[in-house]
């Protein structure tokens, strides 16, 4: 089998040990003789997996006792609605840094008054807005910490005078996070911590119950905290694989260790983009994402785009085509992507430059 290097933006590359353990669980879950696809979520064996997964989240991110972790279906896009239903009483502000931040804002506008406190839309979302003033009369500020389409990232936990809510779909578990600064952190698992089909939400428990509206039972975070994420049947297989992925992160030294590896992967790839005469990065240098490295052909070399995609594919590069809305290239170098994978892409870029520079 040809060696491939996976740079998909999501579903992400998963650690091989998680895949191998999932294969075994498909045949026999914890010695029950039942596939994980058929196991009842009301068994003690499944309770153990849920408890372990929740405990790993708390351990790896040092989540304080003030917060609880829940696992839900529906993707991060449904969480856009959850956020507004649970937190928007009078007015909310959103930092508009890309497509997904814009979609989150749109959902909030359907519930109440919401607006963009700052936006980078004027330059095609190639930077993170700075220097904006956060008013104290808003219910919350919503941010999207990593922008998969445009390759920008908020790398530090901001001090915020109002409740802070963050969509961390594509950089959770890739770097240390001070969870205490957030009322809510949520995201889809399929970027860094598991397969598609499950979302995580890290919720400050005393931040709930402050809106006067009726919240439908399924959209009320309190429902899922009270029922330990099992008010209805949870996405069992996705949670199982997420748990195996978190066990892998712990085995290699935790979030702090994976962060060092992620910084190194991003460093060497951006260095090659900046050095190579055929490519240019699209995000401002200070705001470049460590997770989604976006770049295009250099001016005057645009006609080589399809040739490079074909060239890279022949050499085992998978998923480097940019998002359909922006074109170019994107290498998503999530946690399970190795330094060796990135070095293979760099070698491919150098070889292509030698042929066409």
CATH 3.90.1150.10 boundaries in the chain: 254-356
Q: How confident is the model at residue 1 (pLDDT cuts 50, 70, 90)?
A: low
Q: Is 51 a catalytic residue?
A: no
**Does residue 41 have a pLDDT over 80?**
yes
Q: Which of 57, 100, 287, 341 is catalytic?
A: 100
CATH 3.40.640.10 boundaries in the chain: 16-251
Q: What is the mean predicted confidence (pLDDT) over 226-230?
A: 97
**pLDDT tens track for 98-119:** 999 999 999 999 999 999 999 9
Say whether 30 is catalytic. Answer: no
Q: Which is catalytic among the residues 46, 57, 167, 301?
A: 167
Peptide bond into 171 cis (omega under 30): no
Residue 323: predicted pLDDT = 86
- The pLDDT value recorded for residue 164 is 98
How large a percentage of the chain has pLDDT more than 90? Answer: 97
| pLDDT value at residue 91 | 98
String of DSSP letters for 249-261:
HHHTTHHHHHHHH
pLDDT digits (tens, 9 = 90+) for 186-199: 999 999 999 999 99
Q: Has this prediction a pTM greater than 0.85?
A: yes
Distance CA 14, CA 331 (A): 15
Which pLDDT tens digit goes with each residue over 68-99? 999 999 999 999 999 999 999 999 999 999 99
CA dist 340 → 7, 218, 313, 346 (Å): 12, 43, 17, 10
Cα–Cα dist 276/353, whole Å: 7
pLDDT confidence of residue 325: 78
For the structural domain made of 254-356, what CATH number should be given?
Answer: 3.90.1150.10
The single residue of 46, 171, 183, 191 carrying the catalytic annotation is: 191
Residue 2 pLDDT > 80: no
Active-site residue, 106 included = no
**Residue 137 burial (CB < 10 Å; 0-12/13-18/19+)?**
exposed
pLDDT at site 327: 84
What mean pLDDT value characterizes the chain?
Answer: 97
Is the predicted pLDDT of residue 316 greater than 80, yes or no? yes
Judged by DSSP in three states, 163 sits in coil
pLDDT for the residue 324: 81
- The pLDDT score that the predictor gives to residue 187 is 98
pLDDT at 20 over 80: yes
pLDDT band, residue 43 (cuts 50/70/90): very high
Which pLDDT does position 277 carry in this prediction? Answer: 97
- State the DSSP string of 286-321: GGB-SSEEEEEEPTT-GGGHHHHHHHHHHTTEES-B
Specify which residues 80 forms β-bridges with. none
Residue 34: Cβ-neighbour burial (10 angstroms; 0-12, 13-18, 19+): middle
> What is the pLDDT, as a whole number, of residue 262?
98
16-251 CATH fold:
3.40.640
């Amino acid at each position: 089998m040809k060696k491939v290097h996976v740079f998909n933006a999501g579903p992400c590359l998963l650690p091989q040990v998680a895949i191998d353990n999932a294969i075994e669980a498909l045949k026999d879950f914890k010695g029950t003789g039942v596939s994980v696809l058929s196991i009842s979520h009301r068994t003690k064996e499944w309770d153990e997996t849920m408890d372990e997964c929740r405990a790993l989240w708390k351990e790896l991110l040092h989540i304080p006792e003030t917060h609880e972790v829940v696992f839900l279906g529906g993707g991060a896009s449904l969480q856009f609605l959850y956020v507004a239903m649970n937190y928007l009483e009078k007015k909310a502000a959103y930092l508009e840094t890309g497509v997904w931040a814009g979609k989150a804002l749109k959902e909030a506008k359907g519930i109440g008054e919401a607006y963009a406190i700052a936006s980078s839309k004027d330059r095609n979302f190639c930077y993170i807005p700075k220097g904006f003033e956060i008013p104290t009369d808003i219910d919350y500020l919503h941010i999207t910490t990593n922008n998969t389409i445009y390759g920008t990232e908020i790398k530090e936990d901001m001090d915020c005078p109002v409740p802070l809510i963050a969509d961390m779909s594509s950089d959770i578990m890739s770097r240390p996070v001070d969870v205490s600064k957030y009322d809510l952190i949520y995201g889809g698992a399929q970027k860094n911590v598991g397969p598609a089909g499950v979302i995580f939400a890290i919720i400050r428990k005393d931040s709930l119950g402050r809106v006067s509206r009726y919240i439908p039972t399924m959209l009320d975070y309190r429902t899922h905290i009270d029922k330990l994420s099992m008010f209805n049947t949870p996405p069992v297989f996705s949670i199982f694989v997420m748990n195996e992925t978190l066990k892998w992160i712990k085995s290699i030294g935790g979030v702090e260790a994976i962060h060092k590896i992620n910084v190194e992967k991003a460093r060497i790839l951006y260095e090659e983009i900046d050095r190579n005469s055929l490519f240019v990065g699209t995000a401002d240098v200070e705001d470049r994402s460590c997770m989604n490295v976006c770049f295009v052909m250099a001016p005057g070399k645009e006609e080589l785009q399809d040739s490079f995609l074909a060239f890279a594919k022949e050499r085992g590069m998978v998923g480097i085509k940019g998002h359909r809305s922006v074109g170019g290239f994107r290498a998503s170098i999530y946690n399970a992507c190795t330094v060796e994978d990135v070095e293979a892409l760099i070698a491919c870029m150098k070889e292509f430059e030698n042929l066409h520079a």
